[in-house]
Amino acid sequence: MPAHSFSTLLFLLTFLATQTSQLPIPYEGYFPRKNLLPPPLRDPLVALIDEKCYTSLIENFNLTDLGCIKYAISKALGFGIVLGGAIVKIPQILTIISSSSAEGLSLAAYYLESLSCVITLVYNYRQGNPFSTYGEVLFLSLQNIAITLLILAYARRQSALVASAVAILLVAKALLSPDIVGPGWMQTLYAATIPINLASKVPQIYTNWSNGSTGKLSAFAVLNYFLGSTARVFTTITELDDPLVLAGNVLASLFNGILAFQLIYYWRKNKGIPPQVIEEVKKAD
Ligand SMILES: *[C@@H]1O[C@H](CO)[C@@H](O)[C@H](O)[C@H]1NC(C)=O
């Protein structure tokens, strides 16, 4: 029997078993019929959308409960973005390791990006925000720090490597201690990361515009960043009450939106000629 029909059968049997064993005793006023799930399915769902929304959406199947539907979508999107963020820079790291070189990567850019990620991470953590609303920055921080250290390692700058590793630990320790970096300062630092993140996109937008092409920019990365940052606007509105985080996400979505627009606009204008070819033709001219 193929695996999928076996699992369908198993599901039906489980479903029947849970339904029939929970049939209400047939007199009025007894508990209402509910869609009960077995614990291995129930527990993770409760952990995700909490008891109240689990009861409303799954047990009572109340599809008019818009608050809980929005919350459930937000949680699913949030963890999707966390998972995406966990792997987004792995290809880059593997490329550096397999070629034993980090040539062409800007050390300054990675210092700045690592710092901005760590500040965002600690700000959200100290605010007590749910992990699903910011978790990707944990993984982005680790990946950016790894790339920074790899750049130094392959450039054979051992003392700078050790100094950077120590500096990262000290910065993390300071940011995590409210006695050293008070709440006001933490907020200021986080606010400062917003224009820094946006500024890093401006040169790319300008280059695309002046070339009339998006060049070697990865369409996959641009569209993912746009979709991710836009979904973050939704999860922020749904789950947080923090105008600063909302402003940061709205602006990030806007700037990523400009890049995505350029990508599609120049793709159509250049009639589907792959951007790399245009780049090469330009170089040959
Ligand atoms: C469904 O949810 C809505 C919104 O919370 C609520 O007003 C309504 O009473 C619920 N309906 C049932 C059948 O539980």
Closest protein CA for atom 13 of ligand 1: 62
The reply to whether 67 falls in a domain is no
Average pLDDT, the chain: 86
206 vs 203: CA distance, rounded Å: 5
The reply to whether 84 falls in a domain is yes
Which atom of ligand 1 lies nearest, measured to the CA of 60? Answer: 14
Residues 189 and 208 in one domain: no
Torsion of CA 144, 149, 151, 156, to 10 degrees: 180
Domain final residue, candidates 152, 168, 193 = 193
The reply to whether 249 falls in a domain is yes
The reply to whether 181 falls in a domain is yes
Q: Give the CATH number of the domain where residue 161 resides.
A: 1.20.1280
Is 208 in contact with 282 (CB distance < 8 Å)? no
22 vs 33: CA distance, rounded Å: 8
Residues 85 and 113 in one domain: yes
234 vs 14: CA distance, rounded Å: 35
Which atom of ligand 1 lies nearest, measured to the CA of 62? Answer: 1
Domain final residue, candidates 193, 219, 236 = 193
Q: Which of 33, 53, 56, 59 to mutate to test the pocket of ligand 1 (most atoms within 8 A of CB)?
A: 56
Closest protein CA for atom 6 of ligand 1: 65
Matching residue, tokens 């606007």: 233
pLDDT on residue 275: 55
Segment among 28-37, 73-82, 96-105 with least mean pLDDT: 28-37
Distance (Å) from CA 213 to ligand 1 centroid? 52
Model confidence at 193, in pLDDT bands (50, 70, 90)?
very high
Is 226 in contact with 253 (CB distance < 8 Å)? yes
| Model pLDDT for residues 128-172, shown as the tens digit of each residue | 999 999 999 999 999 999 999 999 999 999 999 999 999 999 999
Residues 177 and 226 in one domain: no
The reply to whether 60 falls in a domain is no
Distance (Å) from CA 66 to ligand 1 centroid? 9
The reply to whether 104 falls in a domain is yes
Q: Is the pLDDT of residue 271 over 80?
A: no
With 0-12 / 13-18 / 19 or more C-beta atoms within 10 angstroms meaning exposed / middle / buried, residue 15 is middle
Which atom of ligand 1 lies nearest, measured to the CA of 66? Answer: 4
Average pLDDT over every residue of 87-98: 91
Please give the model's pTM, rounded to 2 decimal places: 0.78
Distance of CA 62 to CAs 33, 52, 53, 249, 277, Å? 13, 12, 10, 31, 53
Q: Is the pLDDT of residue 75 over 90?
A: yes
Kindly state if the Cβ of 62 falls inside 6 Å of ligand 1.
Answer: yes
Domain final residue, candidates 154, 171, 193 = 193
Classify residue 160 as left (phi > 0), alpha (psi -120 to 50) or beta.
alpha
Q: Which domain holds residue 159?
A: 74-193
Q: What is the DSSP letter of 102?
A: -
| Model pLDDT for residues 59-69, shown as the tens digit of each residue | 888 899 999 99
Is 96 in contact with 73 (CB distance < 8 Å)? no
119 vs 109: CA distance, rounded Å: 15
Closest protein CA for atom 7 of ligand 1: 65
Closest protein CA for atom 4 of ligand 1: 65
Distance (Å) from CA 272 to ligand 1 centroid? 50
Kindly state if the Cβ of 60 falls inside 6 Å of ligand 1.
Answer: yes
Is 110 in contact with 144 (CB distance < 8 Å)? yes
Kindly state if the Cβ of 55 falls inside 6 Å of ligand 1.
Answer: no
